[in-house]
Every structure is written in C-alpha cells, then in structure tokens.
Amino acid sequence: MKKKLLSLLLAVTMTAVCFAGCSKDEKTDAPLGTAQSEVQSEDNATVTQADTTIQEEMDGVEAAYREKMDAIDSASAPQSEMNQNAADCFQLWDNELNALWSRLSDELDADRKEELLDDQRKWVQKKETEVTNAGAEAEGGTLQPLLEYSKGTELTRARCYYLAGLLAEIRGEGFTVSEEIEAELQAANPTLEDVFKSFQGQYFFDAERGAVIGIEPTAECDYGIEGSTWTVWVTGGDLLSDLDVIDFTSSTIDFKTESGYYQLGHTMAGGVSLDYGTEQGAWTDTIYGN
C-alpha cells in the first residue's frame, strides 16, 4: 500500500502591487496568511545587481535557502525557531519571485506578458489552495505554520526557477539547473498520474464488514471504469475515475459526477479521506477518513 510520507522539511506572489503572495506574518507561530504586503529584510532581501547574471542570482538565493534548511534540519531546534526559519525560507523565495516578475513585466512583449499573467494568476490560486491544505493537516496545532511555510516555499521556489529560465531566455543568457534541484522541482509540480500514485492502495474503514476504499490502476481493478486509467471505489458505494477529475493539487484530487463533487485527500495518519458535497469545496459529508 502506497501511503503519503508527509515531509516537514520540503526540499524544495507576484509583485507587491499586482500579486500579493503568502508573505510572512509578524508572528510566525500564526497560520500563514495570504494577500499581504511584500516584506524584505536585510537578511533575505534579493540582490539583483545589473552586472549579475540570472544564473549567479539564482545560485545565490539557492545557497541562502540551503543554509536556512540546514537550520530547520537541526533536531535540537525548538518549534518556534523551526517556524521562524521556515518563514524566512518562504520570504527568501517570495522576494525573488517578486524581483523576477518585475523584470519580466518590463522585458516581455505585450502578448507574451498577458499569457504569463493569466498563468501566474492560476498559479497563485493553486498555491494558496495547497498551502491551506498543508496547514489543515495540523488542525491548528503549533506545527501548522511550519507545514504552511514549507509548502509555500516548495511551490514558490519551483515557480522562481521557471520564471528565471524565461528571463534568462529573453536575455539570451545561459541557465542550467542541477539534476538534484530538477528532481526537487518536479516533485513540487506533480502530474495527475503522480498524485494518483501517491494514493494507490486499499484502505480499511470498517474491519468488521471488510469495507475498504481502493485507489488502483484501472487495469488492475476488479471495478475498473472503461476508458479510464485510475479507478477509485468504495465498498458498497461510490465509484470514481480519472475521467471525473476536474482539479488536483499535490495532495488532493477533486471529482465531479452527476450526483455531486468529491475530494480525495491524504491524512496525517498516512491514510486517505474522501469527502462529498453538492458544490466543489463545500464538503458536507465525509464518506471516509483515516
């Protein structure tokens, strides 16, 4: 059975005017907020000197990020210190994203800028959803800020590398990413296939009657839906597939059927949850959660 391994140390916004991201709260023990003003400090302000290449700039931010991650990795660090370092990691990449976007806005032609603007809006919306989902797993505990800032960092870092590549291309500069970082960035932007694989397995929710929820490749499933790649089934109940998917994040999959909406998600215990509602995002019934 393949279960989610919740990582607290994720290896792996826009301009302050147009795209306020998940900027650092004044109290880092509070849940990560959204749509707040950009904050820059002497410790993590992004340096974008005219004589610095995009490669050199990103290498510098990456080095500062790795140093912060080493601090988070310290087993002896108190939770409040880990939260602060996680907030600093996020702010580091959030500042860099703002700086990259500012230059792209100046250097892109009108058509390409509008296309990227639309893509950026979609990215921000998805990022905020993922951050909220990550924090919800802690149910308001002291771990919530760490989970939220870590997820925000993971996604914003990946977006920075994407935008840096575009800017380097426009300027005719060389820009390379190491295999190690590339693997981390790919993990931050999983495909639907990757997300289904993270759920794959059968999960008991009523041992007395042997009831389970199964997430399996259709070719290996007794209840496989024709034409689909993945099938989700519940003993005596619901039957879903990738054909019903309308949205997904790295930790959730949303489905739409004639009867309503469903969301498949991971739980802190390493199991899965399946919620139902008549509107997407308004979950009124938990079919299964373990």
- The predicted model gives 230-245 an average pLDDT of 93
Q: Does residue 147 share a domain with residue 96?
A: yes
Predicted pLDDT at 79: 82
Domain end residue (candidates: 153, 188, 223): 188
What's the pLDDT score for residue 31?
Answer: 37
Same domain, 207 and 167: no
Same domain, 60 and 109: yes
Q: For residue 153, is it within any domain?
A: yes
Given this model, what pLDDT does residue 211 score?
A: 86
Reported confidence tier of residue 142, pLDDT bands at 50, 70, 90: confident
Q: Which of 128, 150, 159 is nearest to 34 (CA)?
A: 128
pLDDT the model gives residue 290: 58
pLDDT greater than 90 at residue 19: no
Least confident of 41-45, 170-174, 268-272: 41-45
Q: Is residue 138 part of a domain?
A: yes
- Averaged over 2-20, what is the pLDDT? 33
Percent of the chain with pLDDT strictly greater than 90: 54
Question: Do 66 and 150 lie in a common domain?
Answer: yes
Q: In what order do the strands lie in the sheet with 239-241?
A: 201-206, 211-217, 230-234, 239-241
Higher pLDDT, 10 or 176: 176
pLDDT at 70: 84
Question: Within a domain: residue 9?
Answer: no
60 shares its domain with 181:
yes
Same domain, 69 and 180: yes
Query: In the chain, what percentage of residues exceed pLDDT 70?
Result: 81
Whether residue 251 lies inside any domain: the answer is yes
Residues 216-224: what's their mean pLDDT?
A: 93
| Greater model confidence, 289 or 156 | 156
Is residue 113 domain-shared with residue 219, that is, in the same domain?
no
Contacts of 232 (CB under 8 A, 6+ apart): 213, 214, 215, 238, 239, 240, 241, 255, 264, 274
Final residue before a domain boundary, out of 188, 207, 240: 188
Rounded Cα distance between 24 and 188, Å, is: 20
- Report the pLDDT value the prediction gives residue 136, as an integer from 0 to 100: 81
My answer on whether 66 and 86 are in the same domain is yes
12 within some domain? no
| pLDDT band, residue 141 (cuts 50/70/90) | confident
**Domain annotation covers residue 244:** yes
Q: In 3D, which of 189, 217, 188, 203 has the Cα closest to residue 266?
A: 203
pLDDT at position 50 is 59
Per the structure, the count of domains in the chain is 2
Confidence band, pLDDT 50/70/90 cuts, at residue 14: very low
Residue 185 · residue 158 · CB < 8 Å: yes
* Whether residue 159 is found in the same domain as residue 279: no
Give pLDDT, residue 258.
93
Rg (CA), the chain: 21
What is the extent of the structural domain holding 117?
54-188
- Section 269-275 average pLDDT: 86
Shared domain check, 222 and 162: no
Q: Do residue 139 and residue 235 come from a single domain?
A: no
Average pLDDT of the segment spanning 187-201: 93
Instruction: Write out pLDDT tens, residues 87-136.
Output: 999 999 999 999 999 999 999 999 999 999 999 999 999 899 899 888 88
Q: Tell me, yes or no, whether 176 and 251 share the same domain.
A: no
Closest CA to 28 of 70, 79, 71: 79
Looking at the domain assignment, is residue 26 inside a domain? Answer: no
Domain boundary among 170, 188, 206: 188
Instruction: Tell whether 16 is covered by a domain.
Output: no
Q: Answer with the residue of higher pLDDT: 6 or 249.
A: 249
Question: Residue 58's beta-bridge partner residues?
Answer: none
In this prediction, residue 173 has a pLDDT band, given cuts at 50, 70 and 90, of very high
Over 60: is that where the pLDDT of 181 sits?
Answer: yes
